[in-house]
């Protein structure tokens, strides 16, 4: 005979687990099946002082050390401790009295008790602060490590060694160490670690950055879309960079002659930019520079023979 598991077996198991969890929480809800006031032998309107006196008296009588061998002594002592804790805490006592007056709220208090038991005990804000602090520290260490590693690779390069040798031979530096100190290792894109670049400060500055971007866009729309004002010199350059897909760094690397050429061609205007690109392609075809299929961007109009295309 083959064995077939009954349908709903998994569901029954889950139901059993849920019942056990609920039973556990129900037992831990306030004083469980007992009445906290009755456990301490005090009236419903007993003051904190009366509750304390009753607890001290009962704890002295029911302490397990004074009743060795008595079955259930530890559990009984724990019950009066729970009752004392419930009735001397203003918030817990208010909830307990409301629970006694409104038995229909049983499930609500059961869920609240489960949250208190299983919810994280640590303050969420402290935890997040600690995480951000650790991430910030790791970010700072990584920035320093990357910077030092890059400088080390530059010092180990052949170009650097040749420059050191040249300075020593030309007597511009007396020692190798002095020559190394004289060489400027500024590299495009390489920045010395700065605390302002840390993640935490970036996050702190984010709202301000967003506000500035929004304000900039509003001013742009008002000035150039609504009022139809003429573009300022800086905004013309911004639009040229946008059309040519050039970063600030790439723009600064261009010669002054090239920059002036792009401005004189009014490449901030999209239509004139397209015309400029079309003319350049025709000139490149004539010069035989378009044999390989590449994606091109405008090059210095004045330097047709030395075409340098940039994305």
Give the pLDDT score at 103. Answer: 75
Question: What is the arithmetic mean of pLDDT over 226-246?
Answer: 89
The verdict on residue 100 lying in a domain is: yes
- What mean pLDDT is predicted for residues 163-179? 85
Coil/strand/helix, residue 265: coil
| pLDDT band with cut points at 50, 70 and 90 for residue 25 | very low
Our count of domains for the chain comes to 3
Domain boundary among 100, 118, 136: 118
Give dist(CA 275, CA 270) in Å, integer: 9
> Which CATH number goes with the domain that contains 26?
1.10.287.110
Residues 243 and 298 both lie in one domain: yes
Q: Which of 84, 118, 152 is the last residue of a domain?
A: 118
Q: Does the residue 299 lie in any domain?
A: yes
The 3-state DSSP composition of the chain as helix, strand, coil percent (nearest 5) reads 70, 0, 30
- Let me know whether 177 and 106 are in one domain: no
Q: Cβ of 108: how many Cβ atoms within 10 Å?
A: 13
Q: Is the pLDDT of residue 275 over 80?
A: yes
Compute the distance between CA of residue 50 and CA of residue 40 in angstroms, rounded to an integer.
Answer: 10
On whether both 177 and 101 belong to a single domain, the answer is no
Please tell me which of 101-105, 127-131, 212-216 the model is most confident about, judged by mean pLDDT.
Answer: 212-216
Domain holding 164, by residue range, is 124-197
Condensed to tens digits (0 to 9), the pLDDT of residues 172-217 reads 888 888 888 887 765 545 677 887 778 777 778 888 888 998 998 9
pTM above 0.85?
Answer: no
Residues 110 and 146 in one domain: no
Q: What is the mean pLDDT of the chain?
A: 77
Percent of the chain with pLDDT over 70: 76
User: Could you report the per-residue pLDDT of 93-102, keeping only the tens digit for each?
Assistant: 888 888 888 8
Instruction: Establish if 9 belongs to a structural domain.
Output: no
- Report in angstroms the alpha-carbon separations of 276 from 75, 232, 260: 91, 21, 14
Distance CA 154, CA 143 (A): 17
Whether residue 262 contacts residue 245, with contact meaning beta carbons closer than 8 Å, is answered with no
């Amino acid at each position: 005979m083959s064995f077939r598991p009954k349908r709903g077996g998994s569901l029954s198991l889950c139901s059993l687990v849920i019942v056990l969890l609920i039973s556990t929480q129900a037992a831990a809800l306030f004083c469980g099946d007992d009445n906290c006031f009755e456990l301490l032998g005090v009236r419903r309107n007993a003051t904190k002082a009366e509750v304390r006196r009753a607890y001290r008296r009962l704890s002295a009588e029911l302490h397990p050390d004074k009743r060795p061998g008595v079955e259930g002594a530890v559990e009984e002592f724990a019950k009066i401790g729970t009752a004392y804790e419930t009735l001397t805490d203003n918030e817990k006592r208010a909830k307990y009295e409301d629970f006694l007056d409104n038995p229909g709220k049983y499930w609500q208090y059961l869920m609240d008790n489960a949250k208190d038991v299983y919810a994280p005990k640590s303050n969420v804000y402290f935890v997040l602060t600690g995480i951000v602090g650790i991430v910030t520290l790791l970010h700072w260490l990584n920035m320093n490590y990357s910077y030092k590693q890059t400088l080390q690779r530059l010092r180990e390069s052949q170009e650097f060694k040749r420059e050191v040798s040249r300075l020593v031979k030309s007597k511009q530096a007396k020692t190798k160490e002095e020559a190394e100190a004289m060489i400027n290792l500024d590299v495009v894109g390489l920045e010395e670690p700065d605390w302002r670049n840390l993640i935490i400060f970036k996050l702190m500055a984010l709202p301000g950055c967003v506000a500035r971007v929004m304000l900039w866009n509003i001013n742009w729309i008002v000035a150039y879309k609504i009022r139809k004002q003429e573009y300022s010199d800086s905004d013309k350059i911004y639009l040229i960079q946008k059309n040519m897909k050039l970063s600030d760094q790439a723009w600064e690397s261009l010669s002054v002659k090239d920059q002036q050429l792009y401005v004189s061609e009014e490449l901030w205007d999209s239509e004139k930019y397209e015309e400029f690109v079309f003319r350049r392609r025709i000139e490149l075809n004539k010069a035989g520079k378009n044999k390989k299929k590449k994606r091109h961007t405008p090059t210095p109009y004045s330097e047709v023979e030395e075409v340098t295309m940039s994305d």
